[in-house]
Amino acid sequence: MKKVGQQLLAASLVLVGGIAWGQQAVQARTSYTSPKSFRHTWYHYVGHGKYDKMTFSKHAYSSDEYAGGEHYHEHRKFKLFGPSKSGYWSLYGIDQTAGAGNNFKVTTRTFGGKRHAILNNYYGYYTSDITHYYRFKTHHQ
């Protein structure tokens, strides 16, 4: 009986240690500071002469977006997780405890013989529906 108690105690310690270690690994990938490549104002053409706009600062972001004929504005501090194996950072509100989050990655593309940065964004797990934001309003395709 004493041996069973010791085994239960050992199993409990392994379980608690594994959970604590897993949380530390996640914490190491959490950031409250945006990568420098994100820190710009980005535009996405939505049609009819209107652009969605997203601005990243060091510790916050704001967005102005059009959806269903309505205009939405958001400004909040964030926390980032990542980057993932594909280079995306997952963005959540600083107090957000649930939800899918937005995912961002900056890449480059050539327009008119010059390289330009592009902010790639998708929501949740919809990796097939990536929105591209550009640093200038003239870049829309």
> How confident is the model over 29-87, as pLDDT tens digits?
789 999 999 999 999 999 888 999 999 999 999 999 998 889 999 999 999 999 999 99
Q: Tell me, what's the pLDDT at 64? A: 95
> How distant, in Å, are the alpha carbons of 26, 29, 75 from that of 16?
16, 21, 38
Whether the per-residue pLDDT at 137 is higher than 60: the answer is yes
What value does the mean pLDDT take over residues 83-112? 89
What value does the mean pLDDT take over residues 114-121? 95
The distance from CA 101 to its chain's CA centroid, rounded to whole angstroms, is 7
The CA distance from 36 to 56, in Å, is 9
Q: pTM value?
A: 0.73
Supply 58's token pair.
């060091």
The CA distance from 104 to 30, in Å, is 14
